[in-house]
Structure 1
Amino acid sequence: MASARDVYQRLKDASLGVVVAHLHDHQRWRDVHSGLVAVEIDGWIVTLNKEAGALDYCAGCLLPDGQQLDSRAWAGRGTDPLELLSVWERARLEQTLAQL
């Protein structure tokens, strides 16, 4: 079973440009001020919540094999996948997503 660290790795890879992130369902990052935005990263659909235009938390993830994760999958294990990103990685991820 995938963990918060697995989701974090996808987010980190996107922030570093190792993999390409795409918005899912033809959304535009800048069009959502507050709410959920689905981002496809290397076949994983990661649902992120924005609050007042900034990343807030990771709401869930759908893996290519159909496995679904939500905050319950990582709550007991320590933290939200976004919290595992360094300050620099998180800023780079926001910059990357802002271009989508």
Structure 2
Amino acid sequence: MSAKPLTARETCQVLRDIALGIRVMRRVDSNAQVEIDSGLMTVETDGWLITFYKQHRALDHCDRCLSPEGRAYIFDARQRYGTDPLELLSTWERSQLESLLSLT
């Protein structure tokens, strides 16, 4: 039996905790030292691995999220609006997250 997938809301809560300073994240992707305009960016916080897709130096969507227990959220472009965890953040939370990722 496979683990129950993470919901967008569960993933959003982790992102919200990062934006509010409750969790501290660090870049873990191979491009951490190289600033690129678009592409994937992976961060880790408290055992969670989160991969964002950025486009034109702004967050486009949350590509995937893996919890410490092995549950996963995977982005699907066919899903309806509101199923990307970034869409559930407030404007301030999203701006704060982009600032912490040094995108702005």
Normalising by the residue count of structure 2, what TM-score does the alignment of the two structures yield? 0.81
Identity %: 43
CA contact (8 A) 2:11 2:73 kept: no
Higher helix share: 1
Aligned length: 98
Change (3 A) 1:79 1:54: same
For 1:70, the equivalent position in structure 2 comes to 74
The list of structure 1 runs, each at least 4 consecutive aligned residues, that deviate by more than 3 angstroms after superposition, is: none
Counterpart-to-counterpart distance in 1, 2:28 and 2:68: 14
Normalising by the residue count of structure 1, what TM-score does the alignment of the two structures yield? 0.84
> How far did residue 64 of structure 1 move?
1.1
Q: Which has the higher contact order (CA 8 A, sep 6+)?
A: 1
1:5 aligns with 2:25: no
5+ long unaligned stretches in structure 2 = none
Change (3 A) 1:67 1:97: same
5+ long unaligned stretches in structure 1 = none
Counterpart-to-counterpart distance in 1, 2:14 and 2:29: 19
